[in-house]
Amino acid sequence: MKRFTHQLLLLLISLGGMGFSLSAQTIRTYLGQSSVRMDQQVEVYVEVTGFVAKIRPQFPLLEFFRKGEVAELTGHTTGDGPVKTIVQSYQPLDTGTFFIPAFEVKMDEKKGMTQEQEVHILPGPPASSFVHETLDAWVQASFSQDTCFTGEQVRMELRLYLRESHRKLLQVSDIAQANLRERMHHSGFWVEKPPGLPEIPQKIQQDGHNYLIYTLYQAFLYPLNPGTYRYDSLYLEASRREVRKGASTFEVLSGKGSRFVTTLMPFSPIALVVNPLPYPTTQSVGAFQLEAELSPQQVNTGESLELTVTVKGNGNMALLKAPQLKEIPSFSYQSPRTEYQIDFASQEAIGTRTFRYELRPAFRGEYNLGPVTFSFFDPARQQIDSLQVASLPIRVQGADKPEILTDPLDSFYRIALGKASDRPVASLPGEPFWVLGLTILALGVFGWGVKRMSE
């Protein structure tokens, strides 16, 4: 018996070692060429050696490069195991020396980081016979305010200003706008975006010329933490018209004497200073209104009624803390169902957050479920404010049903509700014992199984 156990142990150790060797993987990244011309593509290769089912490299967006296609090459096998290769192409938009930063490679359930690489972009073929036409256009990013508090609503906009007489000299594709929105993303904010952008540009007059204003990006930001948030190295990738030297007006208008080439339109960096809340006891920030109602206002014992609490305002609706309820021992409470929606009809994002509580009375009588209280920080006045629905009368009829309050499910929800409102709720008599009983039963079954196996 001992000899068999010893052999089984050796087999398990060898299989474990084999499994470890099969799972060992190496990552190698390299460039197809370390120097390319403007009319060529930069190719970044990720090569993974070892047994792996899927590779998902997170190739970055690069400034002054247009991200191209990604492809997986036909795999092969070496002495170290199978090899899989992924290649990502980039089209250079300017000459110079650039760095491709380290990026993440996911392999099944594992991941690793590549190394930073340097690439040189050399001038392309001889100068073209096409030249740029005069273009009066610029891009501007802005916040609705330069400073705010954590959680306070701040509107961010990105606009393209284009002289009306030059509108045919510049094009911005949907892909370019999508890439721009991706570059504008910042993990330090909760973001609410309107479902669409204005299709008709605004018009202004400046220095005797008419300009069109196109909104390229709009979002309402809610900072999650204090600090200074910067947006640097921002640019719009657009297509600018060039005209061939000596082309006639007809050739230019028909497109035979002109073409569109990619151009980068940088714009000034912007920063937002976020101050910490002077009263960190609340995470609800903004200006709000509070409503609460009961339906129905007269029930029999054991029947369900719904308490609906609605908070409306221009604050961080997705992060609001639930209003504080008055708890009455004669009622069972369930955790609230909550939802919110945002209206972008104005220059503010006005939201509505609804909390729906289901209650069941156990004893007859006249009750008042008020007050319902909601506290928040008002950034305009820089102080804590509080709203309250004082009175919510309810009449309960019928025979008393105390068994409603011993329902373990309702008891669980009452405890959860108490924790959510930072008010402790005493556990009901007998509540811990059924949990303890199930635990003892499970341990007993497990011990019996172990004993049977040893026999």
pLDDT at residue 181, as a whole number: 86
CATH number at residue 369: 2.60.40
Is the same domain home to 37 and 153? no
CA-based nearest residue to 151, from 203, 204, 225: 225
- Distance CA(375)–CA(282), nearest Å, equals 7
Is the same domain home to 69 and 171? no
Q: CB of 261 within 8 A of CB of 128?
A: no
Is the same domain home to 302 and 424? yes
Over residues 301-336, the pLDDT tens digits come to: 999 999 999 999 998 888 888 898 888 889 988 889
What distance lies between CA 390 and its chain's CA centroid?
37
Asked whether the predicted pLDDT for residue 350 surpasses 70, the reply is: yes
- Cα Rg of the chain (Å, integer): 33
Q: Is the dihedral of CA 160, 251, 130, 66 positive or negative?
A: positive
Is the same domain home to 242 and 190? yes
**218 falls within a domain:** yes
- Distance CA(381)–CA(311), nearest Å, equals 19
pLDDT at residue 76, as a whole number: 80
Is the same domain home to 31 and 109? yes
Q: What is the band of 271 on the pLDDT scale with cuts at 50, 70, 90?
A: very high
**270 falls within a domain:** yes
CA-based nearest residue to 419, from 327, 353, 338: 327
- Distance CA(152)–CA(387), nearest Å, equals 18
Under DSSP, the state recorded for 245 is: T
pLDDT at residue 217, as a whole number: 92
Helix, strand, or coil (residue 446): helix
Is the same domain home to 303 and 406? yes
Angle, helices 431-454 vs 408-420, to 10°: value is: 110
pLDDT at residue 234, as a whole number: 84
What distance lies between CA 108 and its chain's CA centroid?
23
pLDDT at residue 312, as a whole number: 95
Is the same domain home to 89 and 39? yes
> With left for phi above 0 and alpha for psi between -120 and 50, is residue 178 left, alpha or beta?
alpha
State the number of CA atoms in the 13 A half-sphere of 40 facing the CB.
Answer: 16
Over residues 411-450, the pLDDT tens digits come to: 444 444 444 333 333 333 333 444 445 545 555 655 555 4
Asked whether the predicted pLDDT for residue 294 surpasses 90, the reply is: yes
For residue 361, what are the contacts with CB-CB under 8 A and spacing of at least 6? 299, 301, 302, 303, 305, 330, 331, 367, 394, 396, 404
Range of the domain at 62: 24-122
Is the same domain home to 332 and 264? no
Structural domain count of the chain = 3
Is the same domain home to 269 and 150? yes
For residue 449, what are the contacts with CB-CB under 8 A and spacing of at least 6? none
pLDDT mean across residues, the chain: 82
Is the same domain home to 318 and 358? yes
Is the same domain home to 327 and 405? yes
CA-based nearest residue to 270, from 347, 217, 192, 203: 217
Is the same domain home to 116 and 161? no
